[in-house]
Amino acid sequence: MTENKAFIPLYLNNDMINNLFTIVVQEFVESKSVNTKNQITINYRGPMSEFSDELFGKYVQGDINVQVVNEFSKQKTQASISKDIEVFMNLRKLLFKNNLIRDISLNENINNVNENDFVIMKCRLLQNPIVYYLQNLVNNMEIQNVFGNIKSINSSKFEVLRNLKEYMNTWKTNNCIKCVTTELCTPKSRFIVPIDLAYNISRFNYIGNCKINIMGKVINFIDKKNYDYMQLFGDNSLNFINENYFINFMNLNNIENNIETFSNKFICDDGNMIEVLPIAIFI
């Protein structure tokens, strides 16, 4: 794949990039250090009579000449001083140079990918299916209200859904949102990418309309037999979706499937579900 030199960063985990860059520099790069010596000389010349009375108890004529020399050195390590994006560029170069990162192609054999590998892949990134489903539910309710179709929504449901909207906005701000890629590799697999909105520097909306580059570290191969859709894409704070009282709200959604059936469409049948901790996303 041709190297994308004029890339546009969309998502940068600055803390992780700086920490990893420091580790790679220390491990694989001989830091260039510059020693600079500086010498300060202070000269004083004056009449001895100013000091003789205190030193000797009497005045002595003549001149006194005092010279103080102080020498010190400064060391500057050039590799550790950089801006966030410059650090990312250097980090990416170092990872490729030292064969520490795997460029995953569309037809890559998934067996060649291992836990703890650094990877970079070009794909479409889709929204979290649970978040998408709930957001669609809230949006559809609000549209019905705008057009005066409030009869289809009783007041209690309207209040619950309004609270749900506030809850989801807070939840998205305080939690990583587990987005999922389109199918990659052989057999067809998907990567789960937890996104922290604090590092979304361009406010890019991951809706899967264009291919983006994801650089990250493989942290988990998920055994699909032991995980359901809620464990893959949600967390304990979203378990209320499966409660009986919430099922009554589903008829307000314009998605035909229930939330479990809809979310299961994003779980691959034959390949793996792999969790990748994103370091950067760019186009």
| Three-state secondary structure readout of the chain | CCCCCCCCEEEECHHHHHHHHHHHHHHHCCCCEEEEEEEEEEEEEEECHHHHHHHHCCCCCCEEEEEEEEEEEEEEEHHHCCCHHHHHHHHHHHHHHCCCEEEECCCCEHHHCCCCCEEEEEECEECCHHHHHHHHHHHHHHHHHHCCCHHHCCHHHHHHHHHHHHHHHHHHHHCCEEEEECCECECCEEEEEEECHHHCCCCCCCCCCCCEEEEEEEEEEECHHHCCHHHHHCCHHHHHHHCHHHHCCHHHCCCCCCHHHHHHCCCCCCCCEEEEEEEEEEC
CB 145, CB 84: distance < 8 Å: no
Q: What is the pLDDT of residue 141?
A: 78
- Per-residue pLDDT at 2 exceeds 70: no
Which segment of 43-52, 211-220, 248-257 scores lowest on mean pLDDT? 43-52
Return the exposure string of 235-244: e unless at least 16 CB atoms fall within 10 Å of the residue's CB, then b. Answer: eeebeebeee
Cis peptide before 187 (omega within 30 of 0): yes
**76: which strand partners?**
34
Cβ atoms within 10 A of the Cβ of 89, count?
A: 16
Q: What is the pLDDT of residue 245?
A: 64
Domain boundaries, the chain: 35-76, 101-282
What does pLDDT average to over the chain?
77
Tens digits of residue pLDDT in 86-104: 788 888 888 888 988 998 8
Characterise 99 by phi-psi region: left (phi > 0), alpha (psi -120 to 50), beta (else). Answer: left
pTM recorded for the entire structure: 0.70
- Per-residue pLDDT at 77 exceeds 60: no
Which pLDDT band holds residue 190 (cuts at 50, 70, 90)?
Answer: very high
Mean pLDDT, residues 168-192: 90
Phi and psi at 233, nearest 5°, equal: -115, -10
Q: What is the pLDDT of residue 54?
A: 65
Residues 6+ apart with CB under 8 A from 19: none
Tens digits of residue pLDDT in 218-252: 999 988 777 888 889 987 777 777 666 666 676 66
- Per-residue pLDDT at 79 exceeds 50: no
Between 251 and 142, the more confident residue is 142
Mean pLDDT, residues 189-214: 82
